[in-house]
């Protein structure tokens, strides 16, 4: 397996091998699914839409609905106006969504389709019914990564929907980042436990983790409603989780509606969750309830119980920048050693922040933006690690290097529990600890000499 990968590192400037990122539109599609009653629309070749739906479906094991402008050569030459107008007419008459969220693709970006003008024209000629909404985001695949696409679509929500009426509402906005429905559910649970009213957008819980009831609902119960996103302009503050996925939309909302933004990292592990909880507490003027303190206490208890299994372990991480940063922080809390940390996404903030975190404790750590899994694997061949944490694509490396493996981030194509168990918040940290411990001990139990095979650990 992966027999073409050797320890000898040849410099590459042009060839990407085994990427650790994908393209913007899939992130935009995922974000749009977090609006209630929304049909995401892909403006480009139908293959983009098909690939994104397929990949999201493989990850969530749930229906992922989206439409496409189905460009053929003609549209690629003459522009996609006719295709988009026809698409909108069909979408509203056949599928009747409240809102359509259009994102672009490399094709429509290269030909320079002007989406706002097209939406306006479609409206004028009656392809968008009264009371219905069409928003858009520019998501060229040749810029950034899927995380940027997510961020751009959230910015689209702010730009099109959020309004300041002047009547401040006693609520706090949360922009959760490109995280699982289970994570969004966990954020809502924590806020509720604290008695804080939040408006979270996007919110894919109850959209991409729906029940099987015998009834199919094209627009499930979940998702932030248009009214909620509109009201975000009147909130006390915005808590934005993750620099790459959430900070720009939060800053946009601050600029547009004067809602102060708090730029946090994803609440993975103790201190990042402490900060998140404290931010909610500070803005809402509530006390941290005993129940939340109890959760935190249980996590600390578990960390102390299991400290021996984590301390000093060398870890390789591949993932999205916000996830890698936040996870690194948590691993450092466990006194593990993240030695190789890559993200496929571009953006200098990643390396800057990772050096801040790692330089004092793991000074020789290799940190790379625009990295790929091929290079990460080569580093591992040169000096091995005790644990690999990445999305599903890491499984090949884990197998060939026989290294414990924890699946984390997007996409997870070969396991299912990520739909149910968050990795955010105190309970999310418990979940991560559980997965890492299992990975270590399963390997030991499978491989250790018989005399060291023990009942109790």
Partner 1 sequence: MSELSEKPEEGYDCEGFPIPSAPLPDAATVRAEMLSVYPAKTKKKREKQLLTNDPGTPPEIAANTRTIPGIITQRGCTYAGCRGVVIGPIHDILHITHGPIGCSYYSWATRRNLARVKPGQPVNYLQYSMTTDMMEEEIIFGGEKKLAAAIREAYRIFKPKAIAVYATCPVGLIGDDIHSVCRKAKEELGINIFGFSCEGYKGVSQSAGHHIANNGVFKHMVGLLDEPDKAKFRINVLGEYNIGGDAWEIDQLLQKCGIHVTATLSGDISYEQICKCHTSDLNVVMCHRSINYMAEMMETKFGIPWVKVNFIGAEQTAKSLRKIAKFFGDKQLIDRTEEVIAQEMAALRPVIEDVKSRLKGKTAAMFVGGSRAHHYQHLFKDVGMLTVAAGYEFAHRDDYEGRVVLPTIKIDADSRNIEEIEVEADPKRYNPRKTPEQIEALKAGGFSFKDYDGMMVEMKKHVLVIDDISHHEMEKLIETYKPDIIGSGIKDKFVIEKFGVPCKQLHSYDYGGPYAAFTGAANFYKEIDRMIGSKVWKMVTPPWKKSTQETFGVGIESEGNKAIREIVAGMAKAWKPKAKAATSDEG
Whether residue 31 contacts residue 94, with contact meaning beta carbons closer than 8 Å, is answered with no
- Catalytic residue check, 158: no
CA 323 → CA 76, 354, 389, 398, distances in Å?
A: 36, 11, 11, 20
Query: Smallest distance, Å, CB 147 to partner 1?
Result: 12
Q: Which of 36, 41, 313, 353: binder of partner 1 (CB under 8 A)?
A: 41
Q: Which of 75, 365, 403, 412: binder of partner 1 (CB under 8 A)?
A: 75
264 forms bridges with which residues in the sheet? 241
Query: Which x/- pattern, by CB under 8 A, does the window 170-209 give for partner 1?
Result: ----------------------------------------
- Distance in angstroms (rounded) separating the CA atoms of residues 245 and 320: 10
Instruction: Using alpha carbons, select from 267, 232, 231 the residue that is nearest to residue 249.
Output: 232
Is residue 25 a contact point for partner 1 (CB under 8 A)? yes
Out of 102, 106, 158, 207, the active site residue is: 106
Instruction: Using alpha carbons, select from 426, 386, 377, 381 the residue that is nearest to residue 406.
Output: 386
Residue placing its CB nearer to partner 1 in the complex, 167 or 213: 213
Please give the backbone phi and psi of residue 341, each rounded to the nearest 5 degrees, phi first: -135, 115
**End-to-end Cα separation, the chain, in angstroms:** 32
- Distance in angstroms (rounded) separating the CA atoms of residues 250 and 157: 11
- Name which of residues 385 to 444 contact partner 1 (CB under 8 A): 393, 396
Is residue 122 a contact point for partner 1 (CB under 8 A)? no
- Distance in angstroms (rounded) separating the CA atoms of residues 402 and 439: 11
Query: Which x/- pattern, by CB under 8 A, does the window 204-233 give for partner 1?
Result: ------x-xxxxxx----------------
Binding region for partner 1 (CB under 8 A) out of 136-144, 247-255, 325-333, 360-368 = 136-144
Q: Which of 67, 151, 162, 252: binder of partner 1 (CB under 8 A)?
A: 67
Structure tokens at 356: 């801040």
Which residue bears the tokens 């699946």? Answer: 407
- Residue 240 burial (CB count, 10 A): 27
- Catalytic residue check, 106: yes
Query: Smallest distance, Å, CB 236 to partner 1?
Result: 38
Residue placing its CB nearer to partner 1 in the complex, 216 or 452: 216
Is residue 78 a contact point for partner 1 (CB under 8 A)? no
Q: Which of 31, 91, 157, 232: binder of partner 1 (CB under 8 A)?
A: 91
Whether residue 9 contacts residue 178, with contact meaning beta carbons closer than 8 Å, is answered with no
- Name which of residues 328 to 387 contact partner 1 (CB under 8 A): 344, 374
Count residues binding partner 1 (CB under 8 A).
80
Show which residues are catalytic.
106, 110
């Amino acid at each position: 397996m992966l027999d073409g990968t050797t320890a000898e590192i040849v410099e590459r400037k042009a060839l990407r091998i085994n990427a650790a990122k994908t393209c913007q539109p899939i992130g935009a599609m995922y974000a749009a699914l977090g609006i209630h009653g929304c049909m995401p629309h892909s403006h480009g070749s139908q293959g983009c839409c098909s690939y994104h739906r397929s990949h999201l479906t493989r990850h969530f094991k749930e229906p992922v609905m989206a439409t496409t402008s189905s460009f053929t050569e003609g549209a690629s030459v003459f522009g996609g106006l006719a295709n988009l107008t026809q698409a909108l007419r069909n979408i509203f008459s056949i599928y009747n969504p409240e809102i359509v969220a259009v994102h672009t693709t490399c094709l429509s970006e290269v030909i320079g389709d002007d989406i706002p003008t097209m939406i306006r024209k479609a409206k004028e000629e009656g392809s968008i019914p009264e009371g219905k909404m069409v928003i858009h985001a520019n998501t060229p695949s040749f810029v950034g990564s899927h995380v940027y696409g997510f961020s751009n679509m959230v910015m689209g929500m702010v730009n099109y929907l959020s309004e300041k009426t002047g009547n401040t509402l006693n609520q706090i906005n949360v922009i959760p980042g490109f995280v699982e429905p289970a994570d969004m559910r966990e954020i809502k649970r924590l806020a509720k436990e604290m008695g804080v009213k939040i408006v979270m957008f996007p919110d894919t819980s109850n959209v991409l983790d729906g029940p099987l009831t015998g009834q199919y609902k094209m627009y499930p119960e979940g998702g932030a409603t248009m009214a909620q996103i509109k009201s975000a302009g009147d909130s006390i503050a915005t808590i934005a989780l993750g620099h790459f996925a959430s900070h720009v939309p939060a800053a946009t909302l601050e600029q547009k509606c004067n809602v102060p933004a708090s730029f946090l990292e994803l609440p993975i592990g103790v201190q990042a969750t402490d900060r998140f909880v404290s931010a909610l507490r500070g803005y809402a003027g509530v006390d941290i309830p005993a129940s939340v303190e109890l959760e935190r206490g249980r996590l600390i208890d578990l960390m102390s119980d299991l400290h021996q299994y984590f301390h000093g372990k060398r870890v390789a991480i591949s993932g999205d920048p916000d996830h890698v940063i936040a996870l690194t922080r948590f691993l450092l809390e466990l006194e593990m050693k993240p030695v190789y940390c890559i993200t496929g996404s571009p953006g200098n903030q990643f390396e800057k922040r990772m050096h801040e975190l790692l330089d004092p404790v793991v000074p020789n750590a290799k940190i790379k933006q625009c990295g790929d899994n091929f290079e990460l694997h080569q580093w591992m061949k040169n000096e091995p690690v005790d644990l690999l944490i990445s999305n599903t694509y890491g499984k090949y490396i884990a197998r060939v290097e026989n290294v414990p493996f924890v699946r984390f981030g997007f996409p997870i194509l070969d396991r299912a529990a990520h739909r149910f168990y968050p990795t955010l918040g105190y309970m999310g940290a418990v979940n991560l600890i559980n997965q890492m411990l299992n990975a270590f001990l399963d390997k030991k139990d499978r491989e250790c000499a018989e005399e060291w095979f023990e009942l109790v650990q």
